[in-house]
Amino acid sequence: MSESIDVMTVAAGIARLAWSHEHTIDDVRREVAAALREHGRVETWVDPDDHAAQRMATWSGMHREGVMRGVSVDDQAVDRIVYSRLATDAPLDEPGGFRSLLNSFLPRKRAISQLLVRDDRERVLMCRLTYKQDWDLPGGVVEVGESPRLAVGREVEEELGLTFSVGNLLLTDWLPPWGGWDDAVCLVFDGGTHPESILDHVVKQEREIRDVAFCTPEEVRSRAADFTARRVEAALRGDADYTESGR
């Protein structure tokens, strides 16, 4: 007979579960339900390398909340994935409850929206950023629940004080993991053609923007990272809807 599942009250209204690999999903699910009769929250901490325990936590109805780094377990600093279920969570047999569970652990990919703005000499509006040496297209990260089209307009207005009518999507460029960043999808929208004099109206967000200028393709190649230059060139050519790192 397997050992009982350990249920420990760690704070007011909070129970923490631990189990062995001998237990089944039904065992854990029953203990979660029992603990929720006396607690508002039931949680478990799972080793990131223990994939079986991660599946057990998920299919017993606990939501993945994130990774706690460097917590003390048996006097050692380790990382642990936190899963939990609240008494107020929708039942798993309801569509909303099951979708919420899936949404807690399914992959979420970062999205970046950028704007391709040109002048009448076919130069491209580029920004020199404060947090890296390379120049890049204006734009930024899409917030959770935000439209990518609205995001790029918001970012450009915040960073440069300029308001553009955001046109069609020109390019979707996948960016592989790089320099400590996770992978991302970059969406390049058409910002239209404008006179060079719009630079007179730029109000730089000093925390993020060092400089802004219209650049020739050659200047883009010399000032931007290789993958950024490739993305700009692909967007200008207009012969591909999708690229990976500009290729």
Provide the pLDDT for residue 178: 82
Mean pLDDT of the residues in the chain: 94
Report the C-alpha gap between 131 and 153 in whole angstroms.
21
Provide the pLDDT for residue 11: 96
Q: Helices 51-59 and 25-36 sit at what angle, rounded to 10 degrees?
A: 50
Sign of the dihedral through C-alpha 119, 120, 121, 122: positive
Provide the pLDDT for residue 188: 98
Report the C-alpha gap between 35 and 14 in whole angstroms.
9
The yes-or-no verdict on residue 197 having pLDDT over 50 is yes
Sketch out the chain's domains with CATH numbers.
6-105 (3.40.630.30), 110-244 (3.90.79.10)
Q: pLDDT tens digit string along 3-26? A: 689 999 999 999 999 998 889 999
Percent of the chain with pLDDT over 70: 99
CB atoms within 10 A of CB 123: 17
Grouping H, G, I as helix, E, B as strand and the rest as coil, residue 102 is helix
Provide the pLDDT for residue 1: 39
**Overall average pLDDT of the 145-150 stretch:** 96
Nearest 5°: phi and psi at 4?
Answer: -70, 155
**Overall average pLDDT of the 55-78 stretch:** 94
CA dihedral 145, 149, 150, 154 (to 10 degrees): 120
Closest alpha carbon to 199 in 147, 126, 99, 141: 126
Q: pLDDT tens digit string along 159-195? A: 999 999 999 999 999 999 887 888 999 999 999 999 9
What does pTM read for this prediction? Answer: 0.81
**Overall average pLDDT of the 125-150 stretch:** 94
Q: pLDDT tens digit string along 22-53? A: 899 999 999 999 999 999 999 999 999 999 99
- Mention every residue, 6+ apart, whose C-beta is less than 8 A from residue 169: 187, 188, 189, 190
- Amino acid 27 reads D
Report the C-alpha gap between 60 and 19 in whole angstroms.
12
How many residues are given for the chain? 247
Report the C-alpha gap between 215 and 188 in whole angstroms.
17
Q: pLDDT tens digit string along 222-235? A: 999 999 999 999 99
**Overall average pLDDT of the 83-91 stretch:** 96
| Beta carbons of 126 and 228 less than 8 angstroms apart | no
Report the C-alpha gap between 62 and 42 in whole angstroms.
8
Report the C-alpha gap between 57 and 19 in whole angstroms.
10
| Beta carbons of 15 and 83 less than 8 angstroms apart | no
Provide the pLDDT for residue 3: 67
Provide the pLDDT for residue 46: 96
Report the C-alpha gap between 38 and 113 in whole angstroms.
47
Mark 132-149 as b/e (b = at least 16 C-beta within 10 Å).
eeebbbbbbebeeeeebb
Percent of the chain with pLDDT over 90: 88
